[in-house]
Amino acid sequence: MAEISRPLNVYFLPFLAQGHMIPFCQFARLFAARGLHVTIITTPVNARFLQSSIEESNALGHHIQLHTVRFPSDEVGLPDGIENFFNVTDAPTGHKLYEAAGLLRNQVQPFMEENPPDCIVSDFMYPWTAPIATRLGIPRIVFNSFCLFAVCMISAHNRQLQSLPPGLCNDHDGDNSGGPFVVSGLPETITLPLRPPKRISELLGSLIEADQKNSYGLIVNNFNDLDGQDYINYHQKSTDLKVWHIGPASLMLRNILPKEDLHPQTNNEHDELIRTWLDSKESNSVVYVSFGSLCRFDDPQLFEIACGLESSGCSFIWVVHRESKQNNEEEEEAEEKKTWLPKGFEGRMKKENRGLILMKWAPQELILNHPATGGFLTHCGWTTVTEAVSAGVPMMTWPVFVEQFYNEKLITQVHGFGVEVGAEEWNSGPYDRRDKVVNKMKIENAVRRLMDCGEEGEKVRRKAIEMREKAGKAVEEDGSSQRNLTALIEDLELFCK
């Protein structure tokens, strides 16, 4: 553990989405557990979401506080309460929220100038924190919520795009349906099922490139073995940015909680019901289905998922965050009659005690860590992947947007602890119009491959357990992630001397 002569004062600035907010808060708590003084800067609704975790840390004697800035609802024309992308269901609202996130600078900068910290840990979605750090003469550490493997893939794809003659390059515009697509120049040949959308590669590529120029280093919510030394070396060769693998953050956090909190606790009636239901199931018999906090499927896609799950014969917990309809009457009918489910579906599932449909925030870590959960149909959001790996749950991969297709390849091709469903479309973001539906046969097939106790499923399950063991080692007292956290803090202390 690092010797700290004066507690470093670090500000954390998480982006307004759960896949960023959750690991950010975990990092903040890990820093505080090492004696640093930590402040998380966020807006009122997000602060309320983080409050109980922060209190849990402070009860252990750690020093962590929330600094709340006003959410600029009026300036961007958003109703009160929408301060996180989890509450957004359409593109125009998403754009307003994105604009509001940029406007936070107007409050954050004066606060930082009046109360300068020793270091900023910033989300990469806030490029405006770079000039603030430069003005204050302090290091800016960046977090982008990706794994390093995905960062390498995005950079390699961009280099590929840049090497194409301009005419050919334009042919790729908007074409995200072609495939398979080989990303070259990496430690191994990675074949993606679809061509990455040029727009998203360029956007992410430019943010990553800017970070490489304007940051002191990058924190990755991952551990060395999962990204793999080949990709860590590859990244090191292409940039001199310092990188610290500190994760899985959720697993590291469990090491600092009192023993009685080691297993995720249920904290309300809703969660208790889920746990009781899982307790009634055999080990490894339940499929958990969730597409994260952002992705909203339309009704025809939900219908196919329901059919696929029913015909797989497996028990399931299915988290449904629906895309809402523009027309109020249609929406009311869909809500009331559940027109997105096959006729009689709920009745049959209830009779057979086979499935739970959760329409609100699901206690994901509780579900993943329950022995009954044997497989996870996932969109491959990176925070989710780290949680599934920590729980040793093999995955059925169905990436939807941004870098999730790269994560799928790390899971299936590089490490083999998942099977691919066969995603049909690579969207730029969660609110893109989807033209294709993944059919029930593909879904049933993926579930059977993993859950039917056949040779393939058992092999994939063994790989998931092996990776869980490696994750466990990384977060032990002398594990690689703990050593990396120590190295980062020592580096900052040296900088601040």
361 binds ligand UDP (CB under 6 A): yes
SS3 161: helix
Query: Of 160, 384, 390, 484, which lies in the binding site for ligand UDP, with binding defined by CB under 6 A?
Result: 384
Residue 138's alpha-carbon distances to 1, 167, 206, in angstroms, are: 23, 43, 23
Query: Of 8, 13, 16, 17, which lies in the binding site for ligand UDP, with binding defined by CB under 6 A?
Result: 17
20 is catalytic: yes
Neighbours of 188 (CB within 10 A): 11
93 binds ligand UDP (CB under 6 A): no
64 vs 294, beta carbon nearer ligand UDP: 294
Neighbours of 174 (CB within 10 A): 11
293 vs 445, beta carbon nearer ligand UDP: 293
Shortest distance, position 387 Cβ to ligand UDP, whole Å? 5
Query: Of 76, 100, 319, 475, which lies in the binding site for ligand UDP, with binding defined by CB under 6 A?
Result: 319
Q: What DSSP state is assigned to residue 140? A: E
Which among 37, 62, 118, 123 is annotated as catalytic?
Answer: 123
480 binds ligand UDP (CB under 6 A): no
CA–CA gap between residue 97 and residue 15 (Å, rounded) = 11
Query: Of 11, 16, 18, 84, which lies in the binding site for ligand UDP, with binding defined by CB under 6 A?
Result: 18
Shortest distance, position 22 Cβ to ligand UDP, whole Å? 4
33 vs 400, beta carbon nearer ligand UDP: 400
484 binds ligand UDP (CB under 6 A): no
Shortest distance, position 164 Cβ to ligand UDP, whole Å? 30
312 binds ligand UDP (CB under 6 A): no
18 vs 42, beta carbon nearer ligand UDP: 18
DSSP 203-270: HHHHHHHHHHHH-SEEEESS-HHHH-HHHHHHHHHH---EEEE---HHHHHHHHS-GGGSSPPP-SHH
Number of residues interacting with ligand UDP: please give it, by CB under 6 A: 17
Residue 346's alpha-carbon distances to 15, 251, 335, 337, 438, in angstroms, are: 37, 35, 13, 11, 21
CA–CA gap between residue 265 and residue 275 (Å, rounded) = 10
Tokens of 423: 């995603």
Q: Determine the interface stretch with ligand UDP among 277-285, 332-340, 358-366, 434-442 (rule: CB under 6 A).
A: 358-366
Shortest distance, position 355 Cβ to ligand UDP, whole Å? 16
**Which residues, 6 or more positions from 445, have their beta carbon under 8 angstroms from its beta carbon?**
none
Shortest distance, position 296 Cβ to ligand UDP, whole Å? 11
Shortest distance, position 486 Cβ to ligand UDP, whole Å? 25
CA–CA gap between residue 447 and residue 378 (Å, rounded) = 12
CA–CA gap between residue 24 and residue 14 (Å, rounded) = 6
431 binds ligand UDP (CB under 6 A): no
Distance of CA 475 to the CA centre of its chain: 19
292 binds ligand UDP (CB under 6 A): yes
234 vs 401, beta carbon nearer ligand UDP: 401
Shortest distance, position 364 Cβ to ligand UDP, whole Å? 3
Query: Of 8, 10, 22, 423, which lies in the binding site for ligand UDP, with binding defined by CB under 6 A?
Result: 22
37 is catalytic: no
Shortest distance, position 16 Cβ to ligand UDP, whole Å? 11
CA angle in degrees (0–180, nearest 5) for 157-419-389: 85
CA–CA gap between residue 90 and residue 433 (Å, rounded) = 10
Site for ligand UDP in 178-237 (CB under 6 A): none
14 binds ligand UDP (CB under 6 A): no
Which among 20, 37, 157, 415 is annotated as catalytic?
Answer: 20
Lookup result for tokens 């993993």: 450
DSSP 269-295: HHHHHHHHHHHTS-TT-EEEEE-TTT-
Query: Of 11, 316, 382, 405, which lies in the binding site for ligand UDP, with binding defined by CB under 6 A?
Result: 382
CA–CA gap between residue 370 and residue 470 (Å, rounded) = 19
294 binds ligand UDP (CB under 6 A): yes
Catalytic residues: 20, 123
List of residues contacting ligand UDP (CB under 6 A): 17-19, 22, 290, 292-294, 319, 361-362, 364, 381-384, 387
